[in-house]
């Protein structure tokens, strides 16, 4: 296996940015420590540090601002192979936002390394100072804030980290990184870095504005948590093996279920997905709704397939289940001429040659309408046994009311 940690991608950083030397030192430290690229998981988040992903030939994960340590902790605790090395990288802004994640990882002595690139500014949003900006740096910029920065090294060390260091000179960076990545338990390397656009622009000036270098080894680190005895979700026996017959024609069928918040769209989609599993099919399900959660649209996608689902994208859904105007407005641009539409009779302006309209809200009520529409499709299409759906419903909290709702479908005919 090629031991080349970096790809051939061009560095995307501003000229003179400190991230270039840091990335090279990371690569050298990992190589010198004997790590193969596929032995390393690199986790980044938002900010200038977040654009390092394409530079590394390792496994990479990209997350939200300040969350790289939390994501890394989850990766470490879920890994079966404890020889893999998990590295988080974030800036001082991300570290300030995710400070509690860092302290928790140190307290639990999670077996990972955090590389904290401290250029003392939010470089992507205009150069605002962060919680790690030194008092001298703020004073030099005319910022009237005398509150001291977090001493992230002292905080992390006190919390229980095994190894902590602050590096202001790139001359010792590779050696300190090598110490960190070979340490068992939580290690942190805070690297003082240049930002030509908004921060310190000369290496010789770093010593004037940064905190003093430190290197600390903890004789009494936190009790190490490096892995757990976990069964992968995909291997777990949920008791939902194939119990019923499926008459799915074709290899797979994709559904879009569209309604409004509070209408039970997501829970009904999960029930339908479970019914697919009970019918011996491979299933994927995902939901979409606005950040307000309690208002606006609610949309779910479900794929049922005879084969394993390696791609969960649904560019051209086969069936649309539409319950409300909110849902219709969200998905109407995805409807095509070959789609099948099953809609509540109250949905306005919906005209399609292959549509069925039923007053599902009257039959099932607000929360039962979606499951009634899905039950209607099951009956009309014969895609699975109705008992698969009712069994899936019986696993849920609202089983009695939902089962009663779909029982009201008897004798109801679609309005074309």
Considering only residues 266 and 226, tell me which one the structure prediction assigns the higher pLDDT.
266
The predicted structure's pLDDT at residue 72: 96
Residue 152 confidence (pLDDT) above 90: yes
Assigned token pair, 282: 């491979």
Residue 276 confidence (pLDDT) above 90: yes
The predicted structure's pLDDT at residue 414: 39
Q: How far is residue 347's CA from residue 326's CA, in Å, rounded to a whole number?
A: 9
Between the two ends of the chain, the Cα-to-Cα distance in Å is 62
Considering only residues 103 and 227, tell me which one the structure prediction assigns the higher pLDDT.
103
pLDDT digits (tens, 9 = 90+) for 159-196: 999 999 999 988 899 999 999 999 999 999 999 998 88
Query: What CATH number matches the domain at 233-407, 3.40.50.150, 3.40.920.10, 3.30.70.1400, 1.10.10.10?
Result: 3.40.920.10
Q: Are 58 and 42 in contact (CB under 8 A)?
A: yes
Residue 232 confidence (pLDDT) above 60: no
Over residues 101-121, mean pLDDT: 94
For the ranges 20-24, 92-96, 393-397, 408-412, the lowest mean pLDDT is seen at: 408-412
Q: How far is residue 156's CA from residue 39's CA, in Å, rounded to a whole number?
A: 26
Residue intervals of the chain classified under CATH 3.40.50.970 are: 19-217
Residue 227 confidence (pLDDT) above 90: no
> Which of 314, 303, 368 has the alpha carbon at shortest distance from 336?
314
pLDDT digits (tens, 9 = 90+) for 242-261: 889 998 988 999 999 999 99
Q: Are 302 and 283 in contact (CB under 8 A)?
A: yes
> Which of 365, 346, 369, 409 has the alpha carbon at shortest distance from 257?
369
Over residues 226-235, mean pLDDT: 56
The predicted structure's pLDDT at residue 125: 82
Considering only residues 90 and 170, tell me which one the structure prediction assigns the higher pLDDT.
90
The predicted structure's pLDDT at residue 250: 85
Considering only residues 396 and 245, tell me which one the structure prediction assigns the higher pLDDT.
245
% pLDDT > 70, the chain = 93
Secondary-structure class of domain 19-217 per CATH: alpha beta
> Which of 134, 105, 115 has the alpha carbon at shortest distance from 50?
115
Over residues 122-126, mean pLDDT: 83
Rounded to 5 degrees, φ, ψ at 48 are -60, -35
Q: How far is residue 33's CA from residue 36's CA, in Å, rounded to a whole number?
A: 9
Residue intervals of the chain classified under CATH 3.40.920.10 are: 233-407
pLDDT digits (tens, 9 = 90+) for 10-67: 999 989 999 999 999 999 999 999 999 999 999 999 989 999 999 999 999 999 999 9
**SS3 at position 190:** strand
What's the mean pLDDT when you consider all of the chain? 89
Residue 240 confidence (pLDDT) above 80: no
Rounded to 5 degrees, φ, ψ at 279 are -95, 10
Residue 413 confidence (pLDDT) above 60: no
């Amino acid at each position: 296996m090629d031991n080349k940690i970096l790809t051939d991608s061009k560095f995307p950083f501003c000229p003179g940015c400190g991230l270039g030397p840091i990335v090279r030192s990371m690569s050298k430290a990992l190589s010198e420590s004997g790590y193969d690229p596929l032995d390393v998981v690199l986790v980044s988040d938002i900010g200038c540090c977040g654009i390092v992903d394409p530079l590394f030939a390792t496994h990479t994960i990209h997350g939200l601002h300040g969350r790289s340590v939390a994501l890394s902790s989850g990766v470490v605790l879920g890994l079966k192979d404890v020889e893999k090395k998990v590295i988080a990288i974030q800036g001082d802004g991300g570290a300030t936002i995710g400070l509690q994640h860092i302290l928790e990882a140190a307290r639990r002595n999670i077996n990972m390394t955090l590389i904290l690139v401290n250029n003392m500014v939010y470089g992507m949003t205009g150069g605002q100072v962060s919680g790690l900006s030194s008092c001298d740096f703020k004073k030099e910029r005319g910022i009237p804030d005398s509150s001291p920065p977090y001493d992230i090294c002292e905080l992390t060390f006190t919390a229980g980290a095994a190894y902590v260091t602050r590096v202001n000179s790139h001359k010792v960076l590779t050696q300190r990184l090598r110490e960190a990545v070979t340490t068992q338990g939580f290690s942190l390397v805070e690297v003082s870095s240049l930002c030509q656009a908004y921060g310190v622009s000369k290496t010789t000036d770093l010593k004037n504005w940064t905190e003093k270098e430190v290197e600390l080894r903890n004789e009494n680190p936190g009790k190490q948590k490096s892995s757990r005895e976990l069964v992968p979700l995909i291997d777990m026996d949920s008791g939902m093996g194939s119990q019923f017959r499926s008459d799915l024609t074709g290899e797979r069928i994709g559904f879009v279920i569209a309604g409004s918040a509070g209408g039970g769209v997501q829970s009904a989609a999960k029930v339908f997905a479970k019914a697919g599993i009970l019918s011996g099919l491979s299933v994927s399900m995902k939901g979409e709704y606005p950040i307000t959660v309690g208002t606006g649209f609610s949309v779910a996608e479900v794929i049922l397939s005879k084969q394993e689902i390696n791609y969960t994208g649904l560019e051209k859904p086969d069936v649309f289940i539409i319950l409300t105007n909110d849902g219709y407005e969200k998905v109407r641009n995805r409807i095509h001429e070959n789609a099948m539409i099953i809609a509540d009779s109250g949905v306005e302006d919906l005209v399609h040659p292959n549509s069925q309209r039923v007053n599902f809200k009257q039959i099932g009520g607000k929360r039962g309408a979606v499951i009634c529409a899905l039950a209607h499709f099951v009956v009309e299409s014969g895609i699975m046994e109705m008992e698969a759906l009712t069994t899936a419903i019986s696993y849920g909290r609202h089983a009695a009311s939902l089962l009663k709702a779909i029982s009201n479908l008897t004798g109801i005919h679609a309005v074309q």
